[in-house]
Amino acid sequence: MNFSYLLAEIMTGFTSFTWGNAVMILAGVVLIFLAVVKEYEPVLLLPIGFGCIMANIGMSTDAGFMKVIYDAGIKTELFPLLIFVGVGAMIDFSPLLSQPKMVLLGAAGQFGIYGTLLLALLLGFPMNEAASIGVIGAIDGPTAIFVGSRLAPELLAPIAVAAYSYMSLIPIIQPPIMKLMTTRKERMIRMDYSPRPISRLTLVIFPIFVTIVVSLVAPDAAPLIASLMLGNLLRESLVVDRLSKSAQNEMINIATLFLGLAIGATMKAASFLNVQTLMILALGLFAFILDTVAGLLFGKLMSVLSGGKINPLIGASGISAFPMAGRLSAKMAQDEDFENFILMHAMGANTAGQLGSVIAGGLLLALVTGL
Amino acid sequence: MNFSYLLAEIMTGFTSFTWGNAVMILAGVVLIFLAVVKEYEPVLLLPIGFGCIMANIGMSTDAGFMKVIYDAGIKTELFPLLIFVGVGAMIDFSPLLSQPKMVLLGAAGQFGIYGTLLLALLLGFPMNEAASIGVIGAIDGPTAIFVGSRLAPELLAPIAVAAYSYMSLIPIIQPPIMKLMTTRKERMIRMDYSPRPISRLTLVIFPIFVTIVVSLVAPDAAPLIASLMLGNLLRESLVVDRLSKSAQNEMINIATLFLGLAIGATMKAASFLNVQTLMILALGLFAFILDTVAGLLFGKLMSVLSGGKINPLIGASGISAFPMAGRLSAKMAQDEDFENFILMHAMGANTAGQLGSVIAGGLLLALVTGL
Amino acid sequence: MNFSYLLAEIMTGFTSFTWGNAVMILAGVVLIFLAVVKEYEPVLLLPIGFGCIMANIGMSTDAGFMKVIYDAGIKTELFPLLIFVGVGAMIDFSPLLSQPKMVLLGAAGQFGIYGTLLLALLLGFPMNEAASIGVIGAIDGPTAIFVGSRLAPELLAPIAVAAYSYMSLIPIIQPPIMKLMTTRKERMIRMDYSPRPISRLTLVIFPIFVTIVVSLVAPDAAPLIASLMLGNLLRESLVVDRLSKSAQNEMINIATLFLGLAIGATMKAASFLNVQTLMILALGLFAFILDTVAGLLFGKLMSVLSGGKINPLIGASGISAFPMAGRLSAKMAQDEDFENFILMHAMGANTAGQLGSVIAGGLLLALVTGL
Amino acid sequence: MSSVIQQGLMITLIGMGLVFLVIIFLWWLMGLLVKVTTKAEVSVEEPEPAAISETRVPEMAAIEQLRRAAAAAVSVGLTIEARSARRRQVKTQADGGMSPWQSVHRAQQLEQHNRRG
Amino acid sequence: MSSVIQQGLMITLIGMGLVFLVIIFLWWLMGLLVKVTTKAEVSVEEPEPAAISETRVPEMAAIEQLRRAAAAAVSVGLTIEARSARRRQVKTQADGGMSPWQSVHRAQQLEQHNRRG
Amino acid sequence: MSSVIQQGLMITLIGMGLVFLVIIFLWWLMGLLVKVTTKAEVSVEEPEPAAISETRVPEMAAIEQLRRAAAAAVSVGLTIEARSARRRQVKTQADGGMSPWQSVHRAQQLEQHNRRG
Ligand code: NA
Ligand code: NA
Ligand code: NA
Query: In whole angstroms, what is the distance from residue A143 CA to residue A164 CA?
Result: 11
Residue E58 amino acid letter: P
| Chains adjacent to C (≥3 CB pairs closer than 8 angstroms) | A, B, D, F
Length of chain A: 371
Residue E100 has pLDDT above 50, yes or no: no
- A198 Cα: distance to centroid of ligand 1 (angstroms): 26
Residue A193 has pLDDT above 50, yes or no: yes
More confident position, E114 or A214: A214
Q: In b/e form, how buried is each residue of F43-81, taking b as 16+ CB within 10 angstroms?
A: eeeeeeeeebbbbbeebbeebeeeeeebeebbeeeeeee
Q: Cα distance from E53 to chain A (closest Cα, Å)?
A: 5
Query: In whole angstroms, what is the distance from residue A229 CA to residue B50 CA?
Result: 10
pLDDT tens digits, E35-51: 888 766 555 434 433 33
Query: In whole angstroms, what is the distance from residue C365 CA to residue C217 CA?
Result: 12
Using a CB-CB cut-off of 8 Å, the residues of chain E touching B42 are none
Lowest mean pLDDT of C218-227, C326-335, E41-50, name the range.
Answer: E41-50
Residue D103 has pLDDT above 80, yes or no: no
- C155 Cα: distance to centroid of ligand 3 (angstroms): 20
pLDDT tens digits, C230-282: 999 999 999 999 899 989 988 998 999 999 999 999 999 998 999 999 999 99
Query: In whole angstroms, what is the distance from residue A27 CA to residue A19 CA?
Result: 12
Q: Cα distance from C337 to chain F (closest Cα, Å)?
A: 11
pLDDT tens digits, A125-169: 999 999 999 999 999 999 999 999 899 998 998 999 899 888 888
- A46 Cα: distance to centroid of ligand 1 (angstroms): 23
CA-nearest of B347, A144, A10 to F18 is A10
pLDDT at C7: 75
A211 and B57: CB-CB below 8 Å?
Answer: yes
- Residue numbers of chain B with a pLDDT score lower than 50: none
pLDDT tens digits, C186-210: 888 888 877 677 888 999 999 999 9
Residue A6 amino acid letter: L
Q: Is the dihedral of CA A32, A36, A38, A41 positive or negative?
A: positive
pLDDT tens digits, B227-257: 999 999 999 999 999 899 989 988 998 999 9
More confident position, D80 or D42: D42
Count interface pairs C-D at CB distance under 8 A.
9
CA distances from B156 to B20, B110, B140, B146 (A): 19, 20, 14, 9
CA-nearest of A101, A155, A102 to A128 is A155
Domain boundaries, chain E: 1-35, 65-111
Using a CB-CB cut-off of 8 Å, the residues of chain C touching D48 are 37
Question: Which of A6, A11, A38, A40 is best to mutate for the F interface (most F CBs within 10 A)?
Answer: A6
Q: Cα distance from F112 to chain E (closest Cα, Å)?
A: 14
By the CB < 8 Å criterion, does F12 face chain C? yes
Task: Write down the ipTM of this complex.
Answer: 0.80
pLDDT at A2: 63
By the CB < 8 Å criterion, does C6 face chain D? yes
Using a CB-CB cut-off of 8 Å, the residues of chain E touching B1 are 3, 6-7, 10
Alpha carbon dihedral A274, A275, A277, A281, in 10-degree steps, equals 140
Using a CB-CB cut-off of 8 Å, the residues of chain F touching A10 are 14, 18
CB B325 within 8 A of CB B332: no
Return the H-helix or E-strand segment holding C284: helix C275-305
* DSSP type of residue A2: -
Closest CB to E7 among B1, B10, B37: B1
By the CB < 8 Å criterion, does E91 face chain D? no
pLDDT tens digits, E20-37: 999 999 999 999 998 888
CB C14 within 8 A of CB B216: yes
A118 and E5: CB-CB below 8 Å?
Answer: yes
pLDDT tens digits, C139-187: 998 999 999 989 998 899 899 989 988 888 898 899 999 999 999 888 8
As a whole-number percent, the residues of chain A with pLDDT over 90 amount to 67
CB B350 within 8 A of CB B322: yes
Residue E113 has pLDDT above 90, yes or no: no
| Chains adjacent to B (≥3 CB pairs closer than 8 angstroms) | A, C, D, E
pLDDT tens digits, F59-69: 444 444 444 44
Instruction: Name the residue in chain C with its Cα closest to that of D18.
Output: C10
Instruction: Name the residue in chain E with its Cα closest to that of D92.
Output: E117
Q: Cα distance from A134 to chain B (closest Cα, Å)?
A: 19
C9 and B243: CB-CB below 8 Å?
Answer: no
Q: Cα distance from F48 to chain C (closest Cα, Å)?
A: 12
Using a CB-CB cut-off of 8 Å, the residues of chain C touching B238 are 36
F7 and C92: CB-CB below 8 Å?
Answer: no
Query: In whole angstroms, what is the distance from residue B102 CA to residue B348 CA?
Result: 6
E and B touching (3 or more beta-carbon pairs closer than 8 Å):
yes
Model confidence at C68, pLDDT cuts 50, 70, 90, reads: very high
Query: In whole angstroms, what is the distance from residue F26 CA to residue C12 CA?
Result: 58
By the CB < 8 Å criterion, does B295 face chain D? no
Query: In whole angstroms, what is the distance from residue A162 CA to residue A112 CA?
Result: 14
pLDDT at C157: 87
CA angle B137, B143, B145 (to 5 degrees): 95
Using a CB-CB cut-off of 8 Å, the residues of chain D touching C10 are 14, 18
Length of chain C: 371
More confident position, D105 or C265: C265
Around ion ligand 1, which residues have CB less than 5 A away? A 109, 138-139, 319-320, 357
CB B319 within 8 A of CB B109: yes
Using CB atoms and an 8 Å cut-off, which of residues 175-204 of chain A contact chain B? 204
Omega before residue A323 within 30° of 0, cis: yes
Model confidence at D82, pLDDT cuts 50, 70, 90, reads: very low
Instruction: Name the residue in chain B with its Cα closest to that of D75.
Output: B339
pLDDT at D37: 83
By the CB < 8 Å criterion, does A237 face chain B? yes
CB B74 within 8 A of CB B83: no
Query: In whole angstroms, what is the distance from residue F69 CA to residue C192 CA?
Result: 16
Report the SS3 class of residue C305. Answer: helix
Q: How far apart are the first and last CA of chain D?
A: 68
CA E109 to chain centre: 16
Query: In whole angstroms, what is the distance from residue A359 CA to residue A110 CA?
Result: 10
Using a CB-CB cut-off of 8 Å, the residues of chain D touching E116 are 91, 95
Q: Write phi, then psi, for F97 (nearest 5 degrees).
A: 65, 25
